[in-house]
Structure 1
């Protein structure tokens, strides 16, 4: 670090190798997170397939709208449930959800345009 103008006088870290128990625990946590995410993806895929089979004439745009509305209400619930949250003022109403959906759709279109 002397090349950057620093002199190391003392370090408290002697060994960066975690204990075997910690390694196993971290591996289990990572595996559980991977399994959880895989389960979510499979569940979402299955629900999309079931929804599209049971509701004739449904487009992907209709389904995306339903997912956005659901996610909007879940987010509102989570914000309200946080005890440490600061006040958040959001205009709420049917038009708000439509505005949020169009903003997300416009954002996705802009990303696709810039990537092409």
Structure 2
């Protein structure tokens, strides 16, 4: 039983990047299954196993890693390209990556207001 579990485990990192790609994959897979009309049993096995599956297996593509630590940042963009920066460049590299991941205009406006408030009044550390 343990050998079966070991074979079926994936070594994907627990990152939002992985979850995002898996979510997109799942949405596309379910849409493809709905369009092709293949019958799926309760065990997740296609009843027409002799036919080619309508859905390709999930394949994770690493797009890089960014770590922001106080006034410094380190980034690994894959293919041997890395970045280490400090102060202003690191802060805005992190903020540009964070900005690009926002999904609505409302959250982007809230970010602009928070960043402007921080610029004018400094960080609010009274709650910690």
For Structure 1 versus Structure 2, the TM-score category normalised by the shorter chain is 0.3 to 0.5
TM-score, scaled relative to structure 1:
0.33
- Is the helix fraction higher in 1 or 2? 1
Between 1 and 2, higher relative CO (CA 8 Å, sep ≥ 6) is seen in 1
Bigger CA radius of gyration: 1
TM-score by length of 2: 0.31
Higher strand share: 2
